[in-house]
């Protein structure tokens, strides 16, 4: 065997060994992490995608039942007095609120897994802007101000002018995001998957679940179809969604 071949084999072995050690290290760290979560929750899904992207797929977890009000159980309340999920621990560190969990993971384990918030000034600024836009706008216009109302009130009891106004507001918002993707391409902030996508995708996934037709938003549609097969998103897909299509469809025929 030539000296060059031996050198190549040594370097390849070292690279492989480093990769194996890195995976073992991430697995060890993941064993110190614990997440309380609920299936189908947009905030929980966001935190779970971030955990997968950072390479912590082995984290311990407990799926709570919203129907049984388990987020108000003693085990959650002792960590999160609000009795909400996601509730997350990393060793003796307690982090609640999905955005705080995502940003904690990225800042604490920046060199692990996917870099979700880039260091370059311009791209970082765009990622941060899209993250906060998703939370400030889609959270309200899709969930708090629209879908949750259908959960609490029968549509025949609603003011039709109010429903029409909220529907148009949501449609305008989705058109804005469709335009963003038309400019940036594969992902919300450019060619790479970032925290902007971690924040945005669960809203779209939830929208589709409750009847959103993406045909009017072709860029979002191709984005949704492409990202649905991304390993972190497949691994964290709400389990009860896989079992049935669901019957709550307030967005059907609205867009």
Residue 151: its pLDDT value, please? 85
Phi/psi at 198 (nearest 5 deg)? -60, -40
Q: Which CATH number, 3.40.50.10320, 1.25.40.10, 1.20.1050.10, 3.40.50.10240, labels domain 121-243?
A: 1.20.1050.10
3-state secondary structure (DSSP) of residue 63: strand
Residue 175: its pLDDT value, please? 98
Q: Sheet containing 93-96: which strands, arranged edge to edge?
A: 60-63, 33-37, 87-90, 93-96
Write down how long the chain is. 255
Name beta bridge partners: 94.
89
From CA 43, how far away is CA 84, in angstroms rounded?
10
From CA 30, how far away is CA 49, in angstroms rounded?
14
H or E, element range at 36: strand 33-37
Summarize pLDDT for 199-227 with one digit per residue, the tens: 999 999 999 999 999 999 999 999 999 99
Residue 193: its pLDDT value, please? 98
From CA 251, how far away is CA 255, in angstroms rounded?
7
Residue 27: its pLDDT value, please? 53
3-state secondary structure (DSSP) of residue 88: strand
Summarize pLDDT for 54-87 with one digit per residue, the tens: 999 999 999 999 999 999 999 999 999 999 999 9
Domain ranges of the chain: 3-108, 121-243
Smallest CA-to-CA distance from 165 within 146, 138, 137 is with 146
Residues of the chain with pLDDT under 50: 4, 8-22, 24-25
Smallest CA-to-CA distance from 44 within 88, 91, 106 is with 88
By DSSP bridging, strand 33-37 and strand 60-63 are: parallel
Q: Which CATH architecture has domain 3-108?
A: 3-Layer(aba) Sandwich (3.40)
> Are the CB atoms for 66 and 78 separated by under 8 Å?
no
Residue 250: CA atoms inside 13 Å, Cβ hemisphere, count?
Answer: 22
From CA 223, how far away is CA 230, in angstroms rounded?
11
């Amino acid at each position: 065997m030539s000296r060059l071949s031996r050198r190549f084999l040594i370097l390849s072995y070292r690279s492989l060994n480093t990769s194996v050690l890195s995976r073992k290290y991430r697995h060890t760290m993941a064993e110190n992490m614990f997440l309380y979560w609920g299936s189908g929750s947009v905030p929980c899904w966001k935190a779970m995608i971030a955990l997968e992207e950072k390479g912590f797929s082995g984290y311990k977890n407990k799926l709570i039942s919203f129907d049984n009000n388990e987020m108000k159980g003693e085990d959650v309340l002792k960590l999160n007095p609000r009795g909400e999920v996601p509730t997350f621990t990393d060793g003796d560190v307690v982090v609640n609120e999905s955005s705080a969990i995502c940003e904690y993971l990225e800042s604490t384990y920046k060199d692990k897994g996917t870099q979700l918030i880039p260091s370059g000034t311009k791209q970082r600024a765009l990622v941060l802007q899209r993250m906060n836009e998703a939370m400030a706008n889609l959270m309200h216009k899709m969930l708090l101000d629209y879908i949750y109302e259908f959960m609490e009130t029968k549509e025949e009891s609603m003011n039709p002018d109010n429903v029409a106004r909220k529907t148009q507001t949501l449609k305008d918002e989705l058109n804005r995001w469709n335009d963003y993707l038309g400019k940036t391409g594969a992902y919300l902030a450019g060619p790479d998957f970032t925290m902007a996508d971690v924040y945005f995708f669960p809203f779209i996934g939830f929208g589709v679940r409750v009847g959103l037709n993406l045909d009017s938003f072709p860029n979002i549609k191709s984005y949704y179809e492409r990202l649905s097969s991304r390993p972190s998103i497949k691994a964290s897909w709400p389990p009860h969604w896989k079992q049935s299509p669901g019957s709550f469809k307030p967005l059907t025929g609205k867009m």
